[in-house]
Chains A and B, each alone.
Chain A
Amino acid sequence: MNPLSVNVGKTELKSPIILASGTCNFGRELSEYYDLSILGGMSSKGLTIKPRAGNPGVRVAECASGMLNSVGLQNPGVHYFIENDLDFMKESGAAVIVNVAGHSYEDYVDMATTLAPHKDKIDALEINLSCPNVKAGCMTIGSDPEAIKAITSKLRSLTDLPLWIKLTPNVTDIKATALAAQEGGADAVVLINTLMGMRIDIRTRRPILTNNTGGYSGPAVKPVAIRMIAEASQVLSIPIVGCGGIEDYKDVIEFMIAGASAVEIGTACLVHPSLPVKITEDLNKYCEENSLELKSLTGTLQRW
Chain B
Amino acid sequence: MVTRKEYRIKLVSNELLNNDTCYLGFYCPEIASSAIPGQFVNISAGTMFLKRPFGIASVDREKGTFNIGVKVVGKGTEQIKEFEVGTEVDCLGPLGNGFDFEDYDNFILTGGGTGVFPINFAYETLTAAGKKVTVVEGFRNKNQVILNKEGYVITTDAGDAGIKGTVIAGLDTLNIEDSSKTLICCVGPIPMMKAISSWAESKGMKCLVSMEQRMACGAGICLCCIVKVKDDGPDGYKNVRCCKEGPVFNSQEVIF
Contacts and interface: CB of A to CB of B under 8 A. Distances in A.
B226 A33 contact: no
A29 B48 contact: no
A24 B220 CA distance: 8
Interface in B218-243: 219-226, 228, 233, 235, 237-239
A270 B5 contact: no
Interface string B197-221: 0000000000000000111110111
Contacts of B244: 29
A160 interface: no
B219 A74 contact: no
Nearest to A209: B214
A36 B217 CA distance: 18
A23 B221 CA distance: 6
A30 to B, nearest CB: 6
Contacts of B173: none
Nearest to B48: A62
B92 interface: yes
B128 interface: no
A117 to B, nearest CB: 25
B217 A273 contact: yes
A26 to B, nearest CB: 9
Interface stretch (A5-13, A50-58, A104-112, A255-263): A50-58
Contacts of B226: 54, 56, 59, 74
A71 B1 contact: no
Contact of A270 (B4, B221, B239): B221
Contacts, number: 99
B191 to A, nearest CB: 15
Contact of A56 (B4, B51, B219, B228): B228
Contacts of B150: none
A33 B92 CA distance: 10
Nearest to A63: B49
Interface string A23-42: 11100011111110000000
A29 B221 CA distance: 7
Interface string A236-274: 000000000000000000000000000000000111111
A70 B7 CA distance: 29
B221 A269 contact: yes
B235 A29 contact: no
A65 B49 contact: yes
A270 B215 CA distance: 10
B253 interface: no
A33 B2 contact: yes
6 contacts: A25-B223, A30-B221, A60-B224, A69-B216, A270-B222, A274-B6
Interface of A: 22-25, 29-35, 45, 51, 53-54, 56, 58-67, 69, 71, 74, 218-219, 269-274
Given A31-B2, A35-B2, 12 more contacts: A25-B223, A29-B220, A29-B244, A31-B1, A32-B2, A51-B233, A53-B237, A53-B239, A67-B50, A67-B216, A74-B239, A270-B50
Please list the 6 inter-chain residue pairs (A to B) with the smallest Cβ-Cβ separation, ordered nearest first. A60-B224, A270-B217, A29-B220, A59-B224, A32-B4, A60-B216
